[in-house]
Amino acid sequence: MNTKTKYNTLILTRGRDMTPDSTELALAFEATNRNHKVSFQKPENFYVKDGKLFGITHRPNAESIDSYEAFGHYVENESFMKQENIPLEDFDIIFSRVAYRNPDEKREFENMCIYLSSLQSLNPRVTMVNSPLGMVMAGAKIYETLNLKTYMPETHITKDSKRLEKLMKDAALEKQGIIGKPIDGMGGSGVIEIPPSGYRGLRTLAEVLVEPLESTSSIPAIIQSKLEGVDRRILIMGEEILGAYKRVPVEEEIRANIHLGGTVQPYELQDIDREIVSNVAETIKRDGLYFCGLDIMGPEENGTIENTRMLELNVRCPGSIKSLESLAESYHEKAEIRNAAANKIVRYAEDLHEDKLSSLDQE
């Protein structure tokens, strides 16, 4: 390993996500091999001192680590990691890989985004993948509905249960399949297929959508045309496709989310997927969104712009290289998939950083 540091790189991630098969580890190993000095930080470990933003960071306590496995071994054992307190403006590239599963984690994520966007406006030389503001905007489905409407199914967002009920009735009369879901649902929670004409519980459904059990005030809900076909996740970095897989729901389930039993299966990309990716990437790059999981649904073959739509954009901790790897059989093949994806991501981030430096220097 060459020892000359080219970039100081930070990976923000929750401790629980730092598993030996994680995307975080793949990125860290690849970046280290490309002469980045890589540190990790948990989202709760920001602090401000003398008007400066710091992070409590960790990195492997070793001059060089030769194998991916050995690297994983270091990262898994806190005693092999060196703790440092670093001003975050010292980093060139910050990868953020922080998801949330409950309201407390959501608050922590939002605070992290506030720290990072403040840093970004004070120190525009720091390159962030993804941009904190972009991640806040595109976290729910509002951003997609407004900014990527050409590729989305017909989608309505409202807090008004009477309007929801009317949309459901109209769709039932037209025999059009529709889906209802809460705006901030996670992992498929609250996604329901609205029953056809004649069902007498539409009003209750509309009320439940905007007033879910755990909420104390009403929340917006989504009513969307139902898509048919195959639900696939396409992992992208900018306009580059890192890989794709389809998610097949268990029988009697419309939701293909993996933690609801959906399985990852191989998927052959179609021209329509490439067309959607290239157009979507163009738009979302403007908001600093690069490493994303694009969920698209439509026929598995001969997809067209009429029958294929995107469902959502995952920007906080998109899919994983692990799912791509799981499609390969041999150890060797898995390593190849992992390395190729991590290489594209890290290279792209380096290019972003260089472009940013040269445009700032010209100002």
Residue 146's CB is within 10 A of a number of other CB atoms, namely: 12
Residue environment code for 77-95, b if the CB has 16+ CB neighbours within 10 A, otherwise e: eeeebeeeebebeebbbbb
Residue 178 Cβ, how far from ligand ATP at the closest point, in Å?
Answer: 8
Q: Does 320 help bind ligand ATP (rule: CB under 6 A)?
A: no
Eight-class DSSP state of 15: G
CA angle 27, 324, 255 (to 5 degrees): 120
Residues binding ligand ATP: what is the number (CB under 6 A)? 22
Interface residue with ligand ATP, options 312, 327, 347, 357 (CB under 6 A): 312
Q: Does 99 help bind ligand ATP (rule: CB under 6 A)?
A: no
Q: Which residue has the tokens 């730092």?
A: 18
Sign of CA dihedral 242, 155, 171, 257: positive
Give φ, ψ of 357 to 5 degrees. -60, -45
> Which of the stretches 74-82, 86-94, 224-232, 354-362 binds ligand ATP when contact is defined by CB under 6 A?
224-232
Q: Does 186 help bind ligand ATP (rule: CB under 6 A)?
A: yes
Q: Does 226 help bind ligand ATP (rule: CB under 6 A)?
A: yes
Eight-class DSSP state of 240: E
Residue 222 Cβ, how far from ligand ATP at the closest point, in Å?
Answer: 8
Residue 347 Cβ, how far from ligand ATP at the closest point, in Å?
Answer: 27
Q: Does 169 help bind ligand ATP (rule: CB under 6 A)?
A: no
Nearer to ligand ATP, 38 or 294 (CB): 294
Q: How far apart are the first and last CA of the chain?
A: 36
Instruction: For the chain, state the CA radius of gyration.
Output: 22
Q: Does 246 help bind ligand ATP (rule: CB under 6 A)?
A: no
Q: Does 187 help bind ligand ATP (rule: CB under 6 A)?
A: yes
Q: Does 258 help bind ligand ATP (rule: CB under 6 A)?
A: no
- DSSP assignments along 39-55, one per residue: EEEEEEEEEEETTEEEE
Residue 161 Cβ, how far from ligand ATP at the closest point, in Å?
Answer: 20
Q: Are 283 and 148 in contact (CB under 8 A)?
A: yes
Q: Does 153 help bind ligand ATP (rule: CB under 6 A)?
A: yes
Nearer to ligand ATP, 116 or 152 (CB): 152
Q: Which residues bind ligand ATP (CB under 6 A)?
A: 153, 179, 181, 185-189, 191, 224, 226-227, 231, 254-257, 295, 297, 311-312, 314
